[in-house]
Amino acid sequence: MSNDVYTDIWYDVIPLHHRPNLLKECCKLLNSEWPRSETARLKSLRVSCDEFPTCLILIDRESRVLGHCKVSLIPKVRHSCYIESVVVDNKSRAQGLGSRLLRGTEEYVARKGIKRVHLITKGQEIFYIKNGYKICDPIETCGFKKFVPPITKTEAKHKEKITTFSGPPPPPMPQLEFEYFDIRMLSQKTHMVKKL
């Protein structure tokens, strides 16, 4: 356990599944920021395990949950993870606890062999830049692809007949021109990364 001191209080970042008695308190914290049914929230928190995904919590000396962060692996990027649901209790903000939660998360994933931490944010870019993150291009954080079964020759011919007699083609899409275009403009969210 680490012993960082902020205003004479002890804090630590630990996996939530090591302290299942704090599940409800963590659920309450997350729902204060992003409301969701308690049942759904608890179900998503219970997936936390040592191998990932892992929910990490920031606790104080009295074991109060002051922060949360979920960490998942990125299947297509070696030694990389994705953090989400980063939140600090509203009453405990502006005390350096968000930075403490990030640092604890980075230490935890580094011990697991992770070398890059990715995240997506909207409106908190300055906070993450202060903590060493840089803006990057979007990455695919999920490894799931839609399965399309192969089609037979008969099915292909039938599909060809249907498309041949389905009417005129649609008009072309309008051409949009951007003088200064950045792919990040499409999502209105900022993708960030930090090398550990």
List the chain pLDDT tens, one digit each, 196 residues.
454 434 446 899 999 999 999 999 999 999 999 999 999 999 999 999 999 999 999 999 999 999 999 999 998 888 999 999 999 999 988 899 999 999 999 999 999 999 999 999 998 999 999 999 999 998 876 654 444 455 555 665 665 555 555 667 777 776 655 554 444 445 578 999 999 9
Residues 6+ apart with CB under 8 A from 35: none
In angstroms, the CA 187 to CA 60 distance is 36
What is the value of pTM for the model shown? 0.73
Q: What torsion, rounded to 10 degrees, do the Cα atoms 23, 67, 9, 132 define?
A: 150
